[in-house]
Amino acid sequence: MRRPAKDNEESYRRISRRAILLGGGMLGMMGVLGFRMRHLQVDQADQFRLLADENRINIRLIPPARGRIFDREGRIVAENIPSYRISMVREEAGDVRQVIERLSTLVDLDPDELDRALTDLERLRGDTPVTIAERVTWDEISRVAVNAPALPGVTPEVGLSRHYPMKNAYAHLVGYVGPVSDRDLEKIDAPDALLLIPRFQIGKIGLEAENEDALRGDAGTKRVEVNAAGRVMRELDRKEGQSGADMQITIDSALQSYAHARLSGESAAAVVIDCETGDILASVSTPSFDPNLFVRGISVTDYNALLNNEYRPLPNKAVQGIYPPGSTFKMATALAAMEDTQLDLNETVYCPGFMEISDRRFHCWKRGGHGNVDFNTSIRDSCDVYYYEMAQRVGIEKISAMAERLGLGMRYDLPLTSVAAGLAPTKDWKIVNRGSQWVIGDSVNAAIGQGFVLASPLQLAVMTARLATGRAILPNLVKSVGGVAKPARVQNKTAGSLELNENHLRAVRRAMFDVSNNRRGTAYASRVISDEHRIAGKTGTSQVRNITAAERAAGVSKNEDLPRERRDHALFVNFAPYDDPKVAVAVIVEHGGSGSAAAAPIARDITLQALYKGDPPLEVYPSKDRANIKSQQEILRKLQASTLNNGDDRA
């Protein structure tokens, strides 16, 4: 039966509507797909092209800026300067040797640095950036950047390098940084990830090493996208790290550079301490070295030259060097006898030039003797026989106890490498360390600062500051870290009393005054004639050899007639001004001979520089010395200026 025409027309209309709707939907979907395809293929073509080239994301550490070090006046003594370098990632480079060969046509590669880099590339993870060349020029960086497509895995970078603008003057105090070594890592239980970055630098000696954690800072991170050829395509994001804390120390750069210049040509050390605060104003050891050489990687030739130098430039003699203090120790012996009521200030001891003790003759430095000597004269003229007598009266235990009360024989808590403790020996010490009993001859030698007694220039400066003030002054080197003041400076202003009889201290100070200001004083030639800047001091000459009976019979050889290594050490300690002590100074000149001739003039000049904060007027010197002092000041000003102006020399 045929359907009516009317029904057929209705069916066609329905089918047409459905076809249109379905077709429209299909066209709409095709349009969406087409738009999406255009977006992916056109708008995001670069992004997906990178992904198609097997791009990946690397997360890399950003070394923080190391904290700077300033002197007490805010002058920079350790800073960071821009440094261009070239690094390589092994697994991004492919054929490492081939890439380095191409790189060598663009950049001068140091053979030693290259050998170290190749070793690091082999032993470290493949995605670790390794420095191939440091301190390259801007032209070299530009050439590498232009040729980047031919150098897969190679990245030119701008980093920071440590720089010491005052070079030699601060080398022993501030120290230097250098690449982390396997030995460094062995000392650390859980090394910071920063330390595993090849050629990352840490403090090796001095303030740089002892304050490493504060100065280092915390690493940042960055995400970079690299392609299959190892080329960094872009930096996705970064998180900056925390810079290391800045540090301010107590050293006065002007005084430090002057003392360094004044000691030039000698194997010597000097320490200057503020008598009020205990601040170390200067600490110098000569000869010195340029710490920038170690930052750059010192050559074998340069290092051997330092190592084999008979004047020993590498150790910090000011705090590491320990020496027999010689006659500078006599104040400790005298105070021990005074406090034990074994010494009457008006009593005299006869000095014929020697003393017989236990069938042995102990000599005074003055062969003919000093005659009748009271306490003041014993210090002024530095009579040894007087102290041989005091040693027998008071004994070594009380002498050593007094030495420690004055600051000798102890290690001070300073952020420096290998601070020496020195030695104030006792009977038990000799049994334990030498396996023998103490004898009276040991006490006699110790009483004049010989024998087993040892002290550093730092300890002698502390001793002098304590004698000058009667307070238990402690040395202080750091003013602040990260802007936070260190409390030691405040503590020293109220440092406890030494609990010594003030009359005894006055007697010692008066005797030290006569050393420098009485015509018969051993340091009279190095006096200051300005009343408000008078110095009170003590000379010392410590033997480094035994003088045989035969030599004494024939006449003791003069220092200048001996080989350098057999000459006596020269020492001088002083405080000034006498009526109101501001600074305490200790100087040692290794194998310098006489303390009065070699060490006292240096100590006087450094003291006056500290008091005047620059060159003193010539009128404070004796008239006969002024011409020489004027000439000396002109020479030292040039040496000092070369140190203070080195901040502009960053070669």
User: Given a cut of 50, is residue 649 above it in pLDDT?
Assistant: no
| Closest C-alpha to 467, from 399, 425, 513, 424 | 513
User: Given a cut of 90, is residue 359 above it in pLDDT?
Assistant: no
Listed in order, the ranges of the chain carrying CATH 3.90.1310.10 are 62-249
pTM: 0.84
DSSP state, residue 152:
T
Query: What residues pair up with 521 in beta bridges, in sequence order?
Result: none
pLDDT digits (tens, 9 = 90+) for 255-314: 999 999 999 999 999 999 999 999 999 999 999 999 999 987 788 899 999 999 999 999
pLDDT digits (tens, 9 = 90+) for 543-589: 876 665 555 555 666 766 677 777 899 999 999 999 999 999 999 99
Q: What is the CATH number of domain 253-648?
A: 3.40.710.10
Please calculate the CA angle 100-106-108 and round it to the nearest 5 degrees: 80
User: Given a cut of 80, is residue 440 above it in pLDDT?
Assistant: yes
Q: Determine the distance from the C-alpha atom of residue 365 to the mean position of all C-alpha atoms in its chain, rounded to a whole number.
A: 38
The values of phi and psi at residue 227, to 5°, are -95, 180
What's the CA gap between 400 and 380, in Å, rounded? 23
pLDDT digits (tens, 9 = 90+) for 37-47: 776 666 666 66
Least confidently predicted of 217-226, 431-440, 504-513: 217-226
Residue 554: per-residue pLDDT: 56
Placement of tokens 């009020």 in the chain? 276
Contact 408, 424 (CB under 8 A): yes
Contact 382, 388 (CB under 8 A): no
| Closest C-alpha to 482, from 211, 221, 190 | 211
Sort strands 247-249 and 69-70 into parallel, antiparallel or unpaired: parallel
User: What DSSP string describes 397-419?
Assistant: HHHHHHHHHTT-S-----SSTT-
Residue 185: per-residue pLDDT: 83
What's the CA gap between 122 and 110, in Å, rounded? 18
Residue 221: per-residue pLDDT: 79
Contact 174, 164 (CB under 8 A): yes
3 state DSSP class of 283: strand
How many other CB atoms are there within 10 angstroms of residue 13's CB atom?
10
Q: What is the CATH number of domain 62-249?
A: 3.90.1310.10
pLDDT digits (tens, 9 = 90+) for 402-412: 999 999 999 99
Just list the catalytic residues. Answer: 327
What would the mean pLDDT of 453-479 be, rounded to a whole number?
A: 97
Best-predicted range by mean pLDDT among 61-75, 177-191, 321-335?
Answer: 321-335
What's the CA gap between 436 and 299, in Å, rounded? 47
Listed in order, the ranges of the chain carrying CATH 3.40.710.10 are 253-648
Residue 193: per-residue pLDDT: 78
What's the CA gap between 319 and 470, in Å, rounded? 23
- 309 vs 56, higher pLDDT: 309
Contact 62, 241 (CB under 8 A): yes
User: Given a cut of 90, is residue 369 above it in pLDDT?
Assistant: yes
**Tokens describing residue 178:** 């250098």
